[in-house]
Amino acid sequence: MAPGEAAAAAAAAAGRGARKRLRAAFSAFVKAREVPAGAAGAVWWRCCRQTFRERGGIHRHVGTQHGAELHGVGTGTGTGTGTGPGTGEAQRGAAGPGGGTELSEELPDTRHLGPAELQSRVGEVLLYYCYCEVRDPEKLCAWQRALCEHLHLTGKVRVASEGINGTVGGSKVATSLYVEVMLSQPLFKDILCQDDFKRSAGGAHCFPDLRVGVFKEIVPMGIDPEKVSYKETGIHLSPQEFHREVEQYLSQASQGQSDTILLDCRNFYESKIGHFQGCLAPDIRKFSYFPSYVDENLELFKNKRVLMYCTGGIRCERGSAYLRSKAVCKEVYQLKGGIHKYLEEFPDGFYRGKLFVFDDRFSICSNEDVISACRYCGTLWDQYKLCSSHHCRQLVLTCPSCRNKGLTACCPVCQEKELEVTSRASGQTLKEECECTKRRPRVPVERISRGTLDAGEV
């Protein structure tokens, strides 16, 4: 055999060996994350605080999130398969994600960028969260504020010992740099990934300012994270898996055979302009009422499979953990990435109407359906404005025709107050309760029959 042929043969053999080692490492990595089969005999996998019930799901996750460390094993440059202490998930489990990592306070170099690139109005809004152990929330808060100001980003960032939750807007150059820095931050290594950032058209103008603060919870449910932890969350379903579940639920419900509840855990004004078909949408004003809602309606959830969803996934993390803590459901599932990620893959799927967002846009659109109506005339309308009564400032759906008639408040009480305020000395306040607030129970008790629920007609 000629020297060149021998070298080629050796290289081919080495390549086959590397691929074989990579396949073995991949299989071992997946096997190490297998959850023992329960009474039903189902096998699950747990990795990066996510639960996968389909082999394809865990394979995709390992390939995209752990490919680099596995490739090192395949090429002989790695230190192990990630199945034992010292590498990958096992190491993160020992120290706790971010628990043994110091915060890097570095800011990106922007000297090569001009003001037009960093401050362009044509940009996007990022929505993300990351549950991890933060040793020094104040330090993380200060770094986040400095980072956002450095990149001319506006928005809201909540920091706590349990992680970070943010929605920020800016130019595409600025938001791309922000994501790059967040992914390189040692505190979030192997927890955050590109797919965790939900993007939508917008910019810095979508927020009035920048607000960064330290809180007890990164999403305000009102329950101590030590009592109900995100670590006890429901099973995460990818948008594809969730779509199949909803499809099956609607099919079975139409025949009165469903044992499933499709639960919207957002606020009433969010689900009012957009929701999944056949969902149960609680008439609650804020997420901190959700635990009380569950407590008051426990009978509703007994022996049910619950499919939960919210805007970006963060409320489901704690909400599903709270529901699971009641030990009444067959199982609790949640939509990974929330409605935001679902609409990226199924813009014309089972979610109809607009997606409410907590910034000056109020909503983003993926389909042309309008499922809500004007407060005054009943015309189909789904574009929110703030109530014109300054003591109230609730959201109101009032169409252009009614607005032109001066109907700009959320209810007759506020409309009357607005007229009174204009005729009084400035600064004088009116204490009468808004009709919208007065008529809405703080925690509604659902009056839904089993037949209605099973038929998916909620």
Is 282 within 8 Å of 309 (Cβ atoms)?
A: no
- Tell me the Ramachandran region of residue 49: left when phi exceeds 0, alpha when psi lies from -120 to 50, beta otherwise: left
Sorted by sequence, the CB contacts under 8 Å of residue 443 that are 6+ apart come out as 284, 289, 292, 293, 296
Q: Is the dihedral of CA 168, 170, 172, 173 positive or negative?
A: negative
Contact 96/90 with Cβ under 8 angstroms?
Answer: no
Give the closest residue to 446 by CA, choosing from 306, 257, 288, 295: 295
Catalytic entry in 206, 310, 329, 392: 310
CB atoms inside a 10 Å sphere around CB 292: 14
Enter the tokens of residue 36.
Answer: 């023992």
Respond yes or no: is residue 434 known to be catalytic.
no
- Please classify residue 36 by burial: count the beta carbons closer than 10 Å to its beta carbon, then call 0-12 exposed, 13-18 middle and 19+ buried: exposed
Q: Alpha-carbon distance 77 to 67, whole Å?
A: 13
Distance separating alpha carbons of residues 438 and 285, to the nearest angstrom: 12
* Angle CA 444–445–446, to nearest 5: 110
Q: Supply the residues annotated as catalytic.
A: 310
